[in-house]
């Protein structure tokens, strides 16, 4: 008995655990260095989400194409592991409503006492996580899927999940549209000196055109996209709308038709750094990308270029970035992520008119939460039917 419900569903079979995850670790660095760190996925994640729904609305039956007969089996348990500061109460309420029929859904906050949290994990058939790591492997003996609601998965020990035969999946690009929008927001904010003009207007000052010669536009600039997965490609699509030129670096490359559609030119990283007017980073955090941008890379950038990071803080060497800004080696930066979060109130990155900072919010909107949950719950249903999850991480 689990929560008063007998779990005798045939879908509780552990046959899935006997399969090894596809791909071998020898190829992991190259694969993980791709865009969002997604293994094999559909090129258009939107096809997995149901159209015609307003953001934030609760669903009565979110998983399309699943018969009522399928849900006659005894409920299986979904446990959401989360940090309270990361998921608003409205999202939790919506998640309860979006959970597919035939499954129970239990939120479990990160600060829950260890014994209670492990009890929830031990009773779970599927774990969904956001904003937390995971160490309760001994308790996860019945888990068939570990579904992350974010694009990144750097908090997870993928080797341990593989050892236990538990597939791990990320959000399949569900947050790509909003992260890509935020990247462009940061580009324009730095180029147009938005903080300076906003702050002086708030102080009752009118600078007018005094700063015009220090402002720039995106049109005809080369935007160098580092990491060309879902988010990188969406960013390229956005800047093309401003008539910017797109160059990209990704060890995996991109299909010729994608390059043609986005008018994107593949470059080696050194060339991209040297020639771009904007560098925007969209890689996962792993051994290959940690410290990818340091003193050497910033020194190689154009003095007029700006650096944008909406991926993970440790992809850049923050001290090296600060030194490059102090020395005038680059013109500015737009940052949503930092080596240590929250960013310290006395950080040297603050108080600069050529640096725009936001508190790791690029991927979070009510629209994004709807897509994240749709995708995650859809994967639960797929795995319960004996299928592989979409956006499975290959570690």
- Hey, which residues are catalytic here? 312, 341, 360
Tokens of 151: 């694009």
DSSP 394: -
Dihedral (Cα; 284, 39, 48, 162), 10-degree rounding:
-100
Reference 226, options 307, 330, 318, 156; nearest CA is 307
Report d(CA 263, CA 96) in Å as an integer.
Answer: 42
Any residues with CB less than 8 A from the CB of 4 and at least 6 apart, and which? none
How many C-beta neighbours within 10 Å does residue 55 have?
Answer: 12
Q: In sequence order, what E strands does 60-162 have?
A: 76-82, 103-109, 126-130, 145-148
Strand-strand pairing, 222-226 and 168-169: unpaired
Report d(CA 157, CA 148) in Å as an integer.
Answer: 13
Q: What are phi and psi of 31, to 5 degrees?
A: -65, -45
Backbone φ/ψ region at 131: left (φ over 0), alpha (ψ -120 to 50), beta: left
DSSP letters for 267-304: --HHHHHHH-SEEEE----STTTTT-B-HHHHHHS-TT
Report d(CA 328, CA 10) in Å as an integer.
Answer: 64
Report d(CA 242, CA 223) in Å as an integer.
Answer: 11
């Amino acid at each position: 008995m689990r929560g008063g419900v007998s779990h005798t569903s045939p879908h509780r079979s552990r046959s899935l655990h006997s399969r090894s995850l596809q791909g071998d670790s020898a190829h992991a660095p190259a694969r993980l260095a791709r865009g969002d760190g997604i293994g094999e996925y559909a090129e258009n994640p939107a096809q997995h989400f149901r159209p015609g729904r307003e953001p934030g609305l609760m669903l009565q039956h979110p998983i399309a194409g699943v018969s009522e007969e399928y849900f006659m089996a005894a409920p299986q348990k979904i446990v959401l592991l989360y940090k309270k500061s990361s998921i608003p109460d409205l999202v939790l309420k919506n998640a309860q409503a979006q959970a597919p029929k035939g499954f129970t859904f239990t939120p479990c906050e990160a600060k829950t006492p260890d014994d209670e949290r492990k009890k929830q994990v031990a009773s779970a058939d599927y774990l969904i996580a956001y904003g937390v790591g995971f160490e309760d492997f001994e308790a996860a003996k019945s888990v068939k899927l570990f579904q992350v609601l974010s694009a990144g998965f750097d908090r997870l020990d993928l080797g341990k999940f593989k050892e236990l035969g538990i597939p791990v999946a990320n959000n399949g690009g569900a947050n790509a549209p909003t992260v890509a929008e935020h990247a462009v927001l940061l580009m324009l904010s730095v180029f147009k000196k938005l903080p300076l003009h906003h702050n002086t207007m708030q102080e009752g000052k009118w600078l007018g055109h005094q700063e015009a010669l220090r402002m720039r536009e995106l049109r005809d600039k080369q935007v160098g996209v580092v990491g060309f997965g879902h988010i990188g490609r969406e960013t390229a699509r956005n800047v093309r709308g401003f008539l910017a030129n797109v160059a990209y670096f990704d060890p995996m490359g991109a299909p010729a038709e994608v390059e043609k559609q986005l008018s994107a030119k593949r470059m080696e990283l050194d060339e991209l750094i040297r020639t771009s007017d904007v560098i925007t980073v969209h890689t996962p955090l792993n051994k290959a990308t940690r410290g990818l941008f340091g003193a050497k890379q910033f020194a190689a950038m154009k003095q007029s270029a700006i650096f944008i990071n909406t991926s993970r803080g440790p992809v850049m060497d923050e001290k090296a970035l600060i030194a490059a800004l102090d020395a005038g080696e680059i013109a500015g930066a737009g940052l949503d992520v930092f080596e240590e979060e929250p960013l310290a109130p006395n950080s040297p990155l603050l108080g600069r008119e050529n640096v725009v900072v936001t508190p790791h919010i690029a991927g979070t909107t009510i629209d994004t939460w709807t897509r994240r949950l749709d995708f995650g719950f859809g994967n639960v249903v797929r795995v319960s039917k004996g299928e592989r999850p979409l956006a499975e991480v290959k570690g």
